[in-house]
Chains A and B, each alone.
Chain A
Amino acid sequence: MFRLHDVSYAYGGSQAGVAALSHVSLDVAQGEFRWLLGPSGAGKSSLLSILSLEVQASSGMVEILGVPVRQTRRAGLARLRRRIGAVKQDFGLLPDMSVFDNVALPLRLQHRAEAEIAHEVHAIMKWVGLEHRLDALPPQLSGGEQQRVAIARAVIYRPALLVADEPTNALDERQAGRLMRMFHRLAELGTTIVVATHNDAIVAKYPAPTIELLHGHLVRDHG
């Protein structure tokens, strides 16, 4: 769950920067699934970056999973990040690490046992249909495969908050359907999920409450 109150964000600093979000307030409860909609430049990626603690809001109050971000020290933010999963548009995979190592990375940073890591990675990679590509390097995969690896890495540690930026972009209809079913299953288990998309068809097929942005302003919050 997260709460934003009067949040603004500007690239290049709050004074002279370019405004990406203006006075956005939101309150999303635990286990909710929300579509994040809006045209390019509406501020969707900025909002997801704030939620995944990739950037700090220029002003306003941000509270994620009960933790006030501005008042929390760096070590506390690091602990909070371990409860947040993020799927980025560029996938964010390390090109010199195998698929296995990329997906195992969050668990290794949590110092899990190697046997447990191997079990979890095999299970999630089987689910995304890439259990046969564990030793491949990301550049050897197609865009859709890389996207599935990025999704696997984001959900392998069962985050409390999952943010995804266009996660179905490179997926075919069948894989996109599987992904949406998984997202809804995670939400039922208590994960708060925000998915940014331009894909009206998938929004229509899997209806859910929406957050809509336009020029950095919140224009619709159907919670």
Chain B
Amino acid sequence: MARQRYHDGLALRQALPGRFLPFLVGSMAFLAALALAGGIAAHSLSQRWTHGAGAVTTVQVPGPTDPATTTAAMGQMPATRIDAVLAILAATPGITDTHRLSDAELRALLAPWIEQTGDASLPLPAVIELHTAPGQDVAASLLPRLQAQAPGVLMEHDSVWSDRLAALAASLQACAGLAVLVVMTVAVCVVMAATRAGLLTRRQAIGLIHALGATDSYISGRFATRVGLLALWGGLCGSVLALPMLLALSQLAAPFTAMGDAPATAPDWRDLHAWSALLPPALLWMLVIVPPAAGLTGWATTQLTVRAWLRRLP
């Protein structure tokens, strides 16, 4: 009905046009989604490094087939050094997996050095990879026990690299957080500027309905609802636009994260479950949360801006 079009005279469709604000908020939401995705990816890679390569300890046992030191005295320990070491590792809490490298694996690993010396009969130590549970540092207590059975045992832990990678990931996460903060600040400024422009456009109507008894909460609520919905729409557009880019990045990062290799072909376009499986859950949630967060930010910013502006009226 034409008579209902303006209803209370605020004419918010004129004061706050439906294109400018969603475009700007959508752009901010797009950038925020990318920054958040970067932070989530850095966190994911950090977890992978810390709990993957970083959690591997290498044990070298020279003369693996030589008799273990206390075999004779104890009378219960396995006969060879390698068996003694494996028995100790199996009985040590915090070790989740052990893998003794086969001769073939070992020779493949050492091929560049063996080829240089040209001596294929060079005696090689036994090498065991240990996987420890996250947060478990067994090396310090384990080494003396192993050396008691097999003198010359060496242990190497990749903590230096994993610590550096974790520090790099933490820095990337901080940068992503900062970027999100900057984007949110710009979004708040944009909303404030648009709201003030809208208030100036309709200041005569606002003054009139204020004089007729409209409360501050009524006027600010009307503006905030309009801006909140426009920002929600902008945030939705930003999230949807970010989705293909995040899918592509996610597939590129898949081999380095817990998601494993990317599928060779794209899922059927109707299979939402398959599509959603292409993104880590944290990224999916982030894409879902960005639009309401944009709407809420727009609503709250407008409430504060309008209420501050209305204070100039008696």
With contacts A54-B314, A109-B209 taken as known, whether A96 is within 8 angstroms of B6 at the C-beta atoms is yes
Q: Flag if A78 contacts B208 (CB, 8 Å).
A: no
Interface string of A182-198 (1 = CB under 8 A from B): 00000000000000000
Asked whether any CB of chain B lies closer than 8 Å to the CB of A92, the reply is yes
Query: A74, A82, A104: which has the most chain B beta carbons within 10 Å?
Result: A74
Which chain B residue has the least Cβ–Cβ distance from A50?
B314
Q: Flag if A94 contacts B204 (CB, 8 Å).
A: yes
Which chain A residue has the least Cβ–Cβ distance from B205?
A94
Asked whether any CB of chain A lies closer than 8 Å to the CB of B8, the reply is yes
Asked whether any CB of chain B lies closer than 8 Å to the CB of A100, the reply is yes
Asked whether any CB of chain A lies closer than 8 Å to the CB of B270, the reply is no
Chain A residues with Cβ under 8 A from B215's Cβ? 74-75, 78-79
Interface string of B40-54 (1 = CB under 8 A from A): 000000000000000
Q: Flag if B212 contacts A109 (CB, 8 Å).
A: yes
Asked whether any CB of chain B lies closer than 8 Å to the CB of A31, the reply is no
Q: Flag if A109 contacts B6 (CB, 8 Å).
A: no
Chain A contact residues (Cβ within 8 angstroms of B): what range?
20 to 34
Chain B residues with Cβ under 8 A from A94's Cβ? 6, 9, 204-205, 208
Q: Flag if B212 contacts A81 (CB, 8 Å).
A: yes
Q: Flag if A98 contacts B3 (CB, 8 Å).
A: yes
With contacts A53-B314, A77-B314, A100-B3 taken as known, whether A108 is within 8 angstroms of B213 at the C-beta atoms is no
Which chain B residue has the least Cβ–Cβ distance from A108?
B8
B124 to chain A, nearest CB (A): 86
Asked whether any CB of chain A lies closer than 8 Å to the CB of B211, the reply is yes
Q: Flag if A105 contacts B213 (CB, 8 Å).
A: no
Question: Complex formed: what's the CA distance from A56 to B312 in Å?
Answer: 12
Q: Flag if A109 contacts B213 (CB, 8 Å).
A: yes
Q: Flag if A55 contacts B9 (CB, 8 Å).
A: no
Asked whether any CB of chain B lies closer than 8 Å to the CB of A37, the reply is no
Question: Complex formed: what's the CA distance from A93 to B94 in Å?
Answer: 80
B57 to chain A, nearest CB (A): 68
Question: Complex formed: what's the CA distance from A183 to B8 in Å?
Answer: 27
With contacts A98-B3, A101-B3 taken as known, whether A82 is within 8 angstroms of B213 at the C-beta atoms is yes
Question: What are the 3 A-B residue pairs with the smallest beta carbon separation, nearest first?
Answer: A82-B213, A81-B213, A78-B215
Given contacts A74-B215, A94-B208, A100-B3, 15 further A-B contacts (CB under 8 A): A52-B211, A54-B211, A54-B314, A55-B314, A74-B216, A78-B210, A81-B212, A94-B6, A96-B11, A101-B3, A104-B3, A105-B209, A106-B213, A109-B209, A114-B4
